[in-house]
Structure 1
Amino acid sequence: MMKYSGLPVVLALLLVAAQVHAALYRWVDDNGQVQYSDKPPVAGAKKGVSVLDTQGMVRKEPAPQLTPEEKARLQTEKAQQLDQQRRDRALLQSFSSPKDIDILRDRQIESVQASLQTNTLRRQSGQAKLDRLNTQVAAIQKRGRTPPADMLGEVIATQKEINDIDDDTRVKQASIVTIRQHAEEDKKRLNELQAGR
């Protein structure tokens, strides 16, 4: 009676398994030529690498190549999502109810309104000074004389100060509108987040 060693059978099975699992790689090189190999390319292929089985059927398609514009758009969307997640966490950690947002909004507006009152007083003072200077300049010119250069320079500086105050006032008034808008947006988002818990 002959004895058969199991070693040849095991080797044959391993060989068949290796062939079944062997992969073939297909890609387009930098010259536009299609290349095949049993190893993936070392450098990045021009149009990605497809993985084929032993029958030449595609097992895995290459990842789609994105244009620079598409990459930039995806990066922007990801950054916006991360920013929204950060803002959502901050909302939930900072406020327990929309009423808390109203309280913060009112404090911020009060602070801006205090600055606006200061601007009003500064402008009144500047306008009074400008009126006084203009009266002096007119009186000197009425006598047929030329006003001193330092007086004319002071008129220009005072007018600029008034213009700067007016610009700052417009900015602060716009900021009150923005504070109110942000508060409404935050209250709406907070309600959504709390409802989704």
Structure 2
Amino acid sequence: MYGNGMAVGVLLGALAMLLAMPVAPAVAGDIHRWVDDDGTVRFSDKPRPESSDRERQVYDRQGFVREVVPAPPTAEEREAAAEERRRAEQAQESGEDPALDQAARKRQLERVYDSLAEIDSLRERRIAALENNVRMSERQARVLERERDRIERQQARNPDSAALRARYADELEDVQGRLDRERAYQERQQARIDEMNAQFDADAEDYRALVLEEED
């Protein structure tokens, strides 16, 4: 029950001692309060150098707080502030506005999709069409592989005929070219499937964040 009264008494005593000190010109009458490394509250008519990295309170001669001097930012805070300024400057130079970009993205999603279920349904239809293309190409590739094997067997049965060897070589070159094109087509279709899945994933995520959450 005496804790607050004792603290007030200590503060008034410290102020009284400072009031008895010779008054210097200008702002020398200000009283600086800070906390040292041991947690002890200190008072002085001059700011202590070791308190430069801590918040300080400046009192006038009547004991009223005249100014609160905040602690300077840490190295991490200065680095974070510099990074934020750099990003803001880049966005300003490029004319980008995140809020405007999100609004445009929201309008785009609302024009294309009526619901999250529609995103999944459209994904299934488009991916199914691409996968069907891959299956048809794989069947064609198997037909070409059998044709290539047949020509190679005929070539092996007629090793002495120069005319047949030339014909078989042309046929093999044609079949192999068609087979290579089918395989390249399958790779392109699979790449489209992967890209489409990634796009639908992004659409679904943005739809949840920009459309559904705002509706809630």
Cα root mean square deviation, aligned: 2.9
Q: CA deviation at 1:138?
A: 1.5
What amino acid is the match of 1:115?
Answer: N
CA separation in 2, counterparts of 1:115 and 1:182?
Answer: 20
CA separation in 2, counterparts of 1:148 and 1:79?
Answer: 68
Q: CA deviation at 1:80?
A: 9.8
Partner of 1:109: 127
In structure 1, runs of 5+ residues without a counterpart are: 1-69
TM-score of the aligned structures, taking structure 1 as reference length = 0.54
Partner of 2:170: 153
CA separation in 2, counterparts of 1:149 and 1:81?
Answer: 68
Q: CA deviation at 1:113?
A: 1.2
The percentage of counterpart residues that share the same residue type is 21
Pair 1:124-2:158 in alignment: no
Partner of 2:83: none
Pair 1:133-2:151 in alignment: yes
Pair 1:180-2:208 in alignment: no
What amino acid is the match of 2:161?
Answer: R
Change (3 A) 1:157 1:81: farther
Kept in 1, the 8 Å contact 2:102–2:210? The answer is: no
CA-to-aligned-CA distance 1:53-105 (integer Å, 9 cap, x gap): xxxxxxxxxxxxxxxxx99x944x64999877554322112212211100000
Equivalent positions of 1:36-115 (< 5 A) are: 74-75=93-94, 78=96, 86-115=104-133
Change (3 A) 1:175 1:149: same
Aligned length: 125
TM-score of the aligned structures, taking structure 2 as reference length = 0.50
What amino acid is the match of 1:190?
Answer: Y
Change (3 A) 1:81 1:193: closer
Change (3 A) 1:193 1:173: same
CA separation in 2, counterparts of 1:86 and 1:128?
Answer: 53
CA separation in 1, counterparts of 2:175 and 2:158?
Answer: 19
What amino acid is the match of 2:197?
Answer: R
For 1:96, what is the secondary structure of its paired residue? coil
